[in-house]
Chain A
Amino acid sequence: MLHSILPLLGLLAVPAAAQDAPVLEVYTYDSFVSDWGPGPALETAFEESCACDLRFTAAGDGAELLARLRLEGARTEADVVVGLDTSLIAMAAETGLFAQHGFEGRAWDLPIAWQDDLFVPFDWGYFAFIHDRSLETPPASFEELAESDVSILIQDPRSSTPGLGLLLWVKAAYGDGAEAIWEGLSDNIVTITKGWSEAYGLFLDGEADMVLSYTTSPAYHIIAENDDSKMAAPFEEGHYLQIEVAGAIASSDELDLAMEFLDFLTSDRAQSVLPTTNWMYPARLPEAGLPEGFETLIAPETALIFPAGELPEIRSMALDEWLTALSR
C-alpha cells in the first residue's frame, strides 16, 4: 500500500516551482499529448525560448474540442486550440472565439491553396483504412468493403475528426448514394469509438481487420517500431484530405504568447517534429525533408475535399444520413 501512497505525497509537494512564468493553456486532442505524440517534444522546445509554462489539456478527440469550446464559450481558459481541422473550421469560426493570426503571407506545402485568417495549418494527411499485411484481398473501394465481411473500427463523426473525415469522404465520393453505402457498411463495423486513440488501440489489439486512420499511419510502424506489417488500403474513389489547424483565442490574456506559439508550431523546428510524432505530413516541409520511410506510403491520385464554406450544411446532412443508416 505504501507504494501507492508515496507518489501521492510527492504530488502534494510539486506545484510550487513554475508559478511566476506566464501560463499558456493549450487545448488539444488526446493522442497529441500522449507520451509518443508531439506534445512532450513541442512543450520542451517551446519552453526553451518562451519563458513560460506551456500546459496541454487533452479534451478527447478533435471534434470534442470544438464542442468543449462551444460549451465553455467566453469562459474558456484556453489560449490556443490545436487540432481542429478543415471539416470544423467553419463551425469553429462561428463561435467568434478565435483571433486573426496574421500569418497569411506564409508559404505552405499543402495539396491545396490555404486561405484562412483565423486558423494556421500545422499538418495534413489523407484518411485511409489501415490493415495488416496478412489481410487477404483488402477491399479497394467502399463498395467492395461493404460487400465484404472485413471488420472495421471507425470513430464517431460527432466527437472525432477522423470520424467526421470518413463521413465526408463517403459523402464526397457517393453524394446521394452515401446513405446506401453506410447501410452496406453497418454490418462491417465492430464498434464506433469516440476518438481515434481508442479505435487504433483496439485495432492494434486485434479487435478488427481494419481501422480508419491515415495513409501516413504505416510510417509509425515502419519508423518507430521497425515493423512493415501495417499498410493503408488505396481506395478507387480517392481519399479525403484533412488539414489540421490551430488557432488563438481572442479573449486570451496571453494573446501575444499564443501568437508566438502558432508561429513556433509552423516553424522548422516544430514541423520537423510532427512527421515522426503526430505521423502526418508537415504543413511546411522542413529543410531536412521528410523522414525516411515516408516514401513507402501510398499517394492517393484523387484528393477529395469539400470547400470550407459549404461544410456546416453538408456535415449536418451527411450526419443525418449516417445516424439514420446506422441506427436501423
Chain B
Amino acid sequence: MAYGAQPLIRLGQIAAGLVVLLIAGTILAVAWRAEASARLGAADWAAIRFTLWQAAWSAILSVALAIPLARALARRRFPGRSAVVTILGAPFILPVIVAVLGLLAIFGRNGLLNAGLGALGLPEVTIYGAWGVVLAHVFFNLPLATRFLLQAWLSVPSERFRLAASLGFGPAATFRIIEWPLLRATVPGAALVIFLICTTSFAVALTLGGGPSATTIELAIYQAFRFDFDLGRAALLALVQLGVTTVAGLLVLGVAVPDAMGGGLDREVAYRPARGRFLDGLMILLATVFLVTPIGALAVSGVAALPGLPAEVWWAAMRSIATALGSALLCLVLSLSIALAVVRARRGVARLLDLAGLLGIAASPLVIGTGLFILTFPWIAPSRLALPLTGLVNAIMAMPFALRALIPAVARVEADYGKLADNLGLRGGARLRILILPRLRRPIGFSAGLAAALSMGDLGVVALFADAGSATLPLQLYRLMGAYRMEAASGAALLLLGLSLCIFWVFDRGGRVDADA
C-alpha cells in the first residue's frame, strides 16, 4: 500500500492497544478483586433477573411499536416527515436524566397523563418501579428500532412494490411476500441490539427503579460502592455484568444488525396503499407525541427556573463542558489513528484494529469504572479522577460510531487521491494535513459532536467517582432530584439539554462548513 504508511499503522496500533489495555486491564482488576469476595445474595440474583427481564421487555416493546411506525413512515408522505425522522435521531444525544425528568412531567403522579386519567375518572398510573424503567427504555429505543426498520423498508427496491401492485397484491399478500421476509431479517438484530443496550442501563434504573425489585446489575454495582463501600462485591457484580453483556454481544454478532446511523432515511417507498392511511397517521402522531411532549413539558417548566439556578449548577455546567471537549478530542485522536491504520494495514490487522475500536459498544461503563476505581483508589482520591475518567470512558463509548463514520471516509479519500499523493511523495504529517484532514471535516465534526454530547449527558462513571466538588451537570441534576428541589432540577435539565444539543450542533455544523462535497 501507500508509501510512508508504516508510522500511521503503528499509531493506529498504539491507539487500539490503549483501548484494549484499558478495557482488559479494568476487567482483570475486577476479576482479581472479586475473588476475595463472597457469594451472590438473593438481592443480587434479583438484580440479574430484573436486568434480563427489563431488557427483554424493552426490546420487545420497542420493536413491536417500531414495526407499524417504520411502516407508516416508509409509505406515507406528509409535511414534516423529515422533522419526524430527525427527531428519531435525537435520543442518541439526549441525556438520559433529562429524558427521565421529562417522562416524570408526563407520566408522574402529577403529570399530564394522570391529570387526564383523573379527569376521566380512570385509575392513575405510576412511573416508578419496573414498568417505569421499561417505559424510559422504550422512549430511548423506539426511535432506534424505528430507524433500523425504516432502513430495511427503504432498502426494498421500489420496483418490487410496483410489481406487487401491478400483480394486484392486496395488503395481506404484500405483507407476506415482501414485508414479512424483511421483518424476519431485521427484527431479531434490532431487538438484540436494544436488549444489549438495556442490559447496561444505569441512570434510568437509578432514577426510576427505586428499591430492590427494580435494580439492574449496574445499579447494584453502584450501590455496593456508594452504600456499602464493598469493593469486593462491586467487582463480583461487575464480573456478572460482563458475562451478561458478553453473551448478549455475541448474540448480536451472530445476527445481521441493520444500520441505523446511515443517511437517506428521508426517502420513502413507492408503495402507498390507500387503505390504512388513518392508522398510519395515528401511529405517527402518537409516536411523535410520545417522543416530543416529555421534552416539551420539561422545557416549559425549566425555563422559569433557569435564571435562579444555584451557583453549583453553573459550576457543574462548566465542568461538564470542559469534560465534553476533552472527551471529543480524545475520541478523535484515538478513532482517527485507528481509521487511518485500518485503511492502510493488511486485512487481518485491519480487522483486529477495527474490532478493538468497537469494544466500547459492549463494554459497560460501570464495569470499566469499577476496574479503574480498584486500580486507582490506593493512589489517588477518586474525586480528582471523576472528570478525566468521565471524558475517557465516553470517548471510548463514542468510538464505535466515530469509526463507522471515519473509516469509509478515509478509504474514499485514499481511493480518490491516494495514487496521486503517492506520486507527489506526499506522506506522513503533510499528507494528513494537506490531503486527508480537510476531506474528513464532516465525519470528524460528527464524531467529535457525538463524543462531546455523550460525555456531556453521561451519568455513569462520574457517579462512582465524584463528590459535590467534582460533580458534572447530570450528577448535580441528580443531586437536586434527590434533595427534591424539582424546580431547580428542571432548570438544570433544560440547561443540560441545551448544552448537549449545542455542543453536538457546533461540532457537526462546524464539520459541514466549507466541506468538500
Binding site for B on A (CB under 8 A): 3-4, 7-8, 11, 30-31, 34, 57-60, 63-64, 67-68, 70-72, 75, 156, 158-159, 186, 189-195, 197-198, 200-202, 205-207, 320, 322-324, 326-328
Contact = CB atoms under 8 A, between A and B. Distances in A.
Give the 7 A-B residue pairs with the shortest CB-CB distance, closest first. A201-B484, A327-B46, A192-B211, A323-B43, A158-B227, A191-B128, A327-B212
Contacts of A205: 109-110
Contact of A58 (B129, B211, B483): B483
A4 B41 CA distance: 49
A327 B214 CA distance: 8
B497 to A, nearest CB: 13
A190 B126 contact: yes
A194 B211 CA distance: 9
Nearest to B129: A191
Contact of A326 (B211, B311, B314, B381): B211
Nearest to B310: A7
Interface string B85-125: 00000000000000000000000111000000000000000
B306 interface: yes
B213 A328 contact: yes
13 contacts: A11-B311, A34-B483, A156-B211, A159-B226, A186-B213, A193-B482, A198-B484, A200-B484, A202-B484, A207-B108, A320-B43, A323-B46, A327-B46
Nearest to A207: B109
Contacts of B382: 71
B223 interface: yes
A327 B110 contact: no
Interface in B472-486: 479, 481-486
Contacts of B108: 207
B275 to A, nearest CB: 45
Nearest to A320: B41
Contact of B467 (A68, A192, A198): A68
A72 B467 CA distance: 10
Contacts of A326: 211-213
Nearest to A33: B483
Nearest to B210: A191
A71 B230 CA distance: 9
B228 A67 contact: yes
A8 B381 CA distance: 28
Given A31-B483, A323-B43, 6 more contacts: A4-B495, A7-B311, A186-B213, A197-B482, A320-B41, A324-B41
B314 A191 contact: no
Interface in B223-263: 223, 225-229
Q: Which of B309, B315, B482 has the most CB of A within 10 A?
A: B482
Contact of A197 (B315, B467, B484): B484
B517 interface: no
B141 interface: no
A327 B128 contact: no
A27 to B, nearest CB: 10
Nearest to A325: B212
Contact of A158 (B109, B223, B479): B223
A327 to B, nearest CB: 3
A67 B227 contact: yes
B468 interface: yes
Nearest to A208: B109
Contacts of A322: 212
B83 interface: no
B79 interface: no
Given A198-B483, A328-B46, A192 B468 contact: no
Contact of B306 (A4, A34, A59): A4
Contacts of B128: 190-191
A68 B382 CA distance: 11
B348 interface: no
Contacts of B315: 11
Nearest to B373: A71
Q: Which of B227, B314, B469 has the most CB of A within 10 A?
A: B227
Contacts of B226: 64, 67, 71, 159
Contacts of B306: 3-4
Given A4-B307, A159-B227, A189 B211 contact: yes
A30 B210 contact: no
A172 to B, nearest CB: 21
Contact of A327 (B109, B213, B227, B495): B213
Q: Which of A158, A320, A327 has the most CB of B within 10 A?
A: A327
Contacts of A193: 210, 482
B42 interface: yes
B455 interface: no
B215 interface: yes
Nearest to A326: B212
Nearest to A200: B484
Q: Which of A67, A193, A202, A323 has the most CB of B within 10 A?
A: A323
B110 A206 contact: yes
Given A3-B307, A75-B381, A192 B210 contact: yes
Interface in B22-52: 41-43, 46-47
Contacts of B210: 191-193
Contacts of B47: 327
A327 B381 CA distance: 34
Given A75-B381, A156-B211, A205-B109, A198 B482 contact: yes
A64 B227 contact: yes
B86 to A, nearest CB: 24
Contacts of B479: 58, 60
Contacts of A64: 226-227
B229 A71 contact: yes
Contacts of A3: 306-307
Given A189-B211, A324-B43, A326-B211, A201 B486 contact: yes
B212 A198 contact: no
A70 B314 contact: no
A30 B210 CA distance: 19
Interface in B484-510: 484-486, 495
Nearest to A192: B211
Contacts of A4: 306-307, 309, 495
A58 B42 CA distance: 32
Nearest to A321: B42
